[in-house]
Structure 1
């Protein structure tokens, strides 16, 4: 899912969501479902902290409880500053382990940290049946997290139905996000190329505007 996050008028992103965005997503923090799950996760975290190695902590997305500011005008970034060579390609660290929905970590890592132009094949996300099942059963917007840093990148759908979000994503081949669904604190569109990346250097996709605006 090429997280082609592209906005300039209405930012619409065709995100590499399942791979780059870690397919680690949670219901929106303001939904009743999220509040109920929050208390359960707090308990689980306490148990996990006492019984498993720290390396397994990536099973629970970081920043899951932090206040998330979604939408607003697109924020542009400088290619050399954000995507310059780091210790692990364009990022300091590799993608987290144990990605959800049996996503291939090696492929996700290559696309996220060692790639500037490509993504998994179009329609890949439709092969993740458990992902589609969770989307269809969701009672509200879902938050997508960066597979490297764990920071929130997108909250969708906002301003449209889940069926509309899925229909648009299936039409383009990758999960697609609009400007009001982007967490601009952690996402940048690179000047000139339209490449969309996270602030830690994760490749997310490209801005591919359509008649509705940026995508």
Structure 2
């Protein structure tokens, strides 16, 4: 039986353990970034405007019903790290509040296969576009330590590809085509995007 975590509960005060710690800095203001930023070897279109406030927000319309839930198509079959197809399709396309269970990503092949010597790019499990690259501005050990502490892969502003990632007013983190990714749960260090591994386990678009 597949277990799901109600991500809406993460937003409630008074939770214990790692979830509560993740909320400790929820009032921290978002960082500002000026100018353009290089991402994955190219300039991010979304960051060409100076002094862009992060996260970049979207309207609820992005998550409107389409031909396959909130997306135009199912998740791809060849997901990385042995991520479960049914779990991925449900979370990405037919879900707004639930997440893979805390620590799910550590039960996959991710920790065995991830590059420990350089950044890894994480692709949308539906469309194959690049959504995150990590680590950026920190070590792989720091990235993994933070992710393990909170239960989900956790990204910072500079690790997000703002060409394809948006947030809604309730903190939900989504792709520009309607894939549910996770939630932004700021802490004392700024925005922290807690993302389902099954949502970013796609192969690059050109490889499909």
Fold-level match, TM-score > 0.5?
yes
Cα distance change, pair 162–8 in 1 and its aligned pair in 2 (3 A): same
Structure 1: gaps of 5 or more residues: 12-27, 31-66
Q: Distance in 2 between matches of 1:77 and 1:183?
A: 15
Contact 2:122 2:133 in 1 (8 A): yes
Cα distance change, pair 133–154 in 1 and its aligned pair in 2 (3 A): same
Structure-1-length-normalised TM-score: 0.67
> What residue is the counterpart of 2:60 in the other structure?
79
Question: SS where residue 72 of structure 2 aligns?
Answer: coil
Q: Distance in 2 between matches of 1:157 and 1:70?
A: 21
TM-superposed deviation, 1:163: 0.3
Flag as ranges the 4+ runs of structure 1 deviating above 6 A.
none
Contact 1:196 1:206 in 2 (8 A): yes
Q: Distance in 2 between matches of 1:114 and 1:100?
A: 20
Contact 1:70 1:182 in 2 (8 A): no
TM-superposed deviation, 1:98: 1.6
**Aligned length, in residue pairs:** 157
Q: Distance in 2 between matches of 1:71 and 1:125?
A: 29
TM-superposed deviation, 1:134: 2.5
> What residue is the counterpart of 2:186 in the other structure?
209
Superposed, which structure 2 residues align to 1:101-116 within 5 Å? Answer: 101-116=81-96
Superposed, which structure 2 residues align to 1:50-89 within 5 Å? Answer: 67=42, 69=44, 73-80=54-61, 82-89=62-69
Contact 2:64 2:70 in 1 (8 A): yes
Structure-2-length-normalised TM-score: 0.69
TM-superposed deviation, 1:145: 0.2
Over aligned residues, Cα RMSD in angstroms?
2.6
Q: Kindly indicate whether structure 1 or structure 2 has the higher relative contact order, using CA contacts under 8 Å at least 6 residues apart.
A: 1
> What residue is the counterpart of 1:97 in the other structure?
77
Structure 2: gaps of 5 or more residues: 11-25, 33-38, 48-53, 193-208
